[in-house]
Structure 1
């Protein structure tokens, strides 16, 4: 780390990344885990949404991929929340410690952004996990079937439904 004051260089080498405090190293590891989980969750979510052409027309597999992506997003949010909260706790402890001789840091915008991103990742992952279909096959009742029967085949096209009903059948 070099600083320049009026043409004079004042350089101080940082000895090692391993010389940092343990909570900073753990927070880095948690944030790297969070980034990896978020990246894989995003890829799985893009493949697992029903409107995507990737992955074919197997909606059961797409539902499972979307559910897995939701779990990864929840794990990402938890890792971020733990790392940011732990770092903020240690900053607060050092700030109010009268015996701390080092630099006293304050809670800044980066920590607030970390908390917001963690809450949004957890909420988005919960929504994605709850909205996916994890069943083995799609079962739904067609409008022209009796109330006790369930159709478990492919979805009817609009032309089949239109040919079955007259124009006054829709509400």
Structure 2
């Protein structure tokens, strides 16, 4: 009775966990709201794209392990001369296929969203005026334009 595919599936799932951990760390480090990497958004985009690659590799490892296990279950189930216990598909296989699909989709979305652009192609955030009709500034109050509101108008 050769059960080597079970050990290989386990090894692929452990590798998938490692890829997922690296992908999570790289994606969190590559987010624009994180302090890691400073204000270099090109570097942050590349780090986030590397996280997407790790998620893609994670999904591929999960898909291979789960599909390989399911193929062997199917082969043993329909073999009339198989002497061992015959298993059927269960919730674990469906959860594995779903998580692999989500990991592959998430990795592809991260890789497409974090394109490798040069700093000259970076689009600046659009200016959004404040809701009170005047501009908030870090300039001292003596240099700013006087507003229509007194000090008691602020909450």
The answer to whether TM tops 0.5 is yes
Aligned CA-pair RMSD: 2.3
Q: For residue 93 of structure 2, what is the aligned residue in structure 1?
A: 111
1:51 to 10, 15, 33: 33
Q: Distance in 1 between matches of 2:122 and 2:10?
A: 47
Task: Report how many residues are paired.
Answer: 130
Q: Deviations over 1:39-65 (max 9, x none)?
A: 000000001011222221111110110
Q: Which consecutive residues of structure 2, in runs of 5 or more, have no partner in the other structure?
A: 129-133, 136-155
Q: Deviations over 1:46-92 (max 9, x none)?
A: 01011222221111110110110001100100000000000000011
DSSP 3-state at the match of 1:47: helix
Q: Which consecutive residues of structure 1, in runs of 5 or more, have no partner in the other structure?
A: 1-18, 142-154, 164-171
DSSP 3-state at the match of 2:116: coil
Q: Distance in 2 between matches of 1:48 and 1:129?
A: 12
Q: How does 1:81-96 map to 2 (within 5 A)?
A: 81-96=63-78
Q: TM-score, normalised by structure 2?
A: 0.76
Q: For residue 29 of structure 1, what is the aligned residue in structure 2?
A: 11
After TM superposition, the runs of 4+ consecutive aligned structure 1 residues lying more than 6 A away are none
DSSP 3-state at the match of 1:121: helix
Q: Structure 1 residues 96, 75: closer, same or farther in 2, change over 3 A?
A: same
Q: Distance in 1 between matches of 2:2 and 2:30?
A: 40
Q: For residue 46 of structure 2, what is the aligned residue in structure 1?
A: 64
